[in-house]
Structure 1
Amino acid sequence: MSLRFAANLKWLFTEVPFVERFDAAARAGFTAVEYASPYEYEARQLRALLDNAGLEQILINTPMGPAGSPTRSGYACFPDLVGEYRDGVLRGLAYATALGAKFLHIVGGIVPDGVSADRAFARYVANIAWAAEQARGTGIRLLLEAQNQRDAPGFVLTSQARAAAVVEAVGDDIAGQLLDFYHTQIDEGDLIRTFERYRDTVLHLQVADVPGRHEPGTGEIAYATLFRVIESSGYDGWIGCEYRPATDTAAGLTWMKEYSH
């Protein structure tokens, strides 16, 4: 079995400071990384860390607000923050270009107080369409991710079906789904059929087990079976390891050796 795994440096190798995680990932055998927010650092510093470690940057997220704020999960569904959203998309595209990232994840956001779910979703779709126009010609594709309502109550993108509908609306030449099996298992389940149903619009995968959000093999998801299905489907994209190690990162990577190349 040959699958490609990318280390999520927000979640893995937290035993060391962020700038040391690139080398730690390379030593552990990773050749690619992802992480949510590069914005605390200059792009040229991050690019040097990538190059020195021999790593490829796969994705980053658009900027999000501070922890605990209404925009902690993104700006895309806020009718009154269109300017802030657009500034964030342009900043994200600039960073993605500088880092050589294939994907920019447009983080949807939690429906704001006093705004109906329908209005927030309509603003989200309009904002994604605007971002798609900005991204055309850059070589960067946009990712849309549904998040579970237990961890992110009120998150605007509630299902893989809704994510796929938005991708279809803005164009699958510029946008695609980020299917996170952890989020999907909690709210939808039926992971194999869900993956197969949306295979044509899925550009990136992420893994963590349920319920603890630890590495594959620590919870209820039958990852060995799921990985066989992913490989047999012809999926040739990356699989982001967005999980919280149950102990330390290196000790928890034994699961990956069976499936990666």
Structure 2
Amino acid sequence: MPKFAANLSMMFTELPFLDRFAAAAAAGFSAVEFLFPYDYPADLLAEKLQQNGLQQVLFNTAPGNVNNGEWGLAAIPGREQEARADIDRALEYAIALKCPNVHVMAGVVPPGEDIARYRETFISNLRYAADAFAPHGIKLMIEALSPPVKPNYLFSSQHQAAELVTAIDRPNVFIQFDFFHAQLVDGNISNLLKSLAGRYAHIQIASVPDRNEPDDGELNYPWLFAQLDKMGYQGWIGCEYKPRGETTAGLGWIKPYL
């Protein structure tokens, strides 16, 4: 049976962020993920998790200056000190929240720049992060982002993500396999599930192309969930989608699984 985590950055947004924990628990979720924890003290977030019987299963390293077009620093040449400070801060939060997975954000490559330099910077910083997180039993995720959502991100394909995991060469680095991005770029999700088995440790879902509840669009999610069960996938599935309306009104699709 798949294990689902509510993404509190995209779901229950009709409520203030700190109230979304209780809403997720009331809806039947036992786990949550979100983009960034850094606007709140770690002990406050840990208290919200404990109060509502929730497990934190994923968050990201800091994005940098979003208003200037940044979306992660780990691949940006010359920004290594900042990127590693973000990694260190994420580790502190992961320990405090007992979170088993952290997504390290790569960053955007400006047009005309040498992408090889950015790739090598990312590999170096991920090795630093992996070595820091490993003693705590925490996995690191890297995620391919589709160009319609994040133009010029360092990598957009699941195949590129797999190549980077190989190059980073650390046992606690895995692919964060987002079916929405993968369908936009690679397609053939069922084949990717098999060919990349063992290389992804967290999955995210949404309808394609609208990124709403996974009960519509071109992906047959019940069939994909059944394939994951057959394959023995043990990781979490993050519900990183934009509800069409009020969040709980659109949760009919998940009731058989909770």
Are 1:152 and 2:150 counterparts? yes
Q: Give structure 1 stretches of 5+ with no counterpart.
A: none
Deviation at 1:67, TM superposition (A): 2.9
Give the aligned partner of residue 168 of structure 1. 166
Match of 1:178 in 2: 176
What residue is the counterpart of 1:88 in the other structure? 86
Contact kept? 1:70, 1:112, Cα under 8 Å: no
- Partner in structure 2 of residue 193 of structure 1: 191
CA distance in 2, matches of 1:247, 1:190: 29
In the alignment, what sits opposite 1:57? Answer: 56
> What is the TM-score of this pair, normalised by structure 1?
0.95
* Structure 1 CA distance for aligned equivalents of residues 120 and 3 of structure 2: 35
Aligned-partner Cα distance in 2 for 1:20–1:226: 31
Aligned match of 2:10: 11
Amino acid at match of 2:133: A
Aligned residues of 2:127 and 2:170 also touching (Cα < 8 A): no
Identify the residue that residue 48 of structure 1 maps to in structure 2: 47
Letter in 1 for 2:149: D
Q: Quote how far apart the aligned CAs of 1:141 are.
A: 0.9
The alignment status of 1:24 with 2:17, answered yes or no, reads: no
Q: What secondary structure sits across from 2:216 in the alignment?
A: coil
Alpha-carbon distance in 2 for matches of 1:251, 1:235: 28
Q: Return the offset for 1:199.
A: 1.2
For normalisation by structure 2, the TM-score amounts to: 0.97
Q: CA deviation at 1:113?
A: 5.1
In structure 1, what residue type is equivalent to 2:41? E
1:199 is paired with a residue whose SS is coil
Deviation at 1:114, TM superposition (A): 5.2
Distance 2:213 2:65 in 1: 27
Determine the structure 2 residue equivalent to 1:69. Answer: 68
Shift of 1:170: 2.9
Secondary structure of the residue aligned to 1:128 is: helix
Residue pair 1:101, 1:140 contacting (<8 A) in 2 also: yes
The 1:81–1:114 alpha-carbon spacing in structure 2 relative to 1, beyond 3 Å, is farther
RMSD over aligned Cα atoms: 1.2
Deviating beyond 4 angstroms after TM superposition, the runs of 4 or more aligned structure 1 residues are none
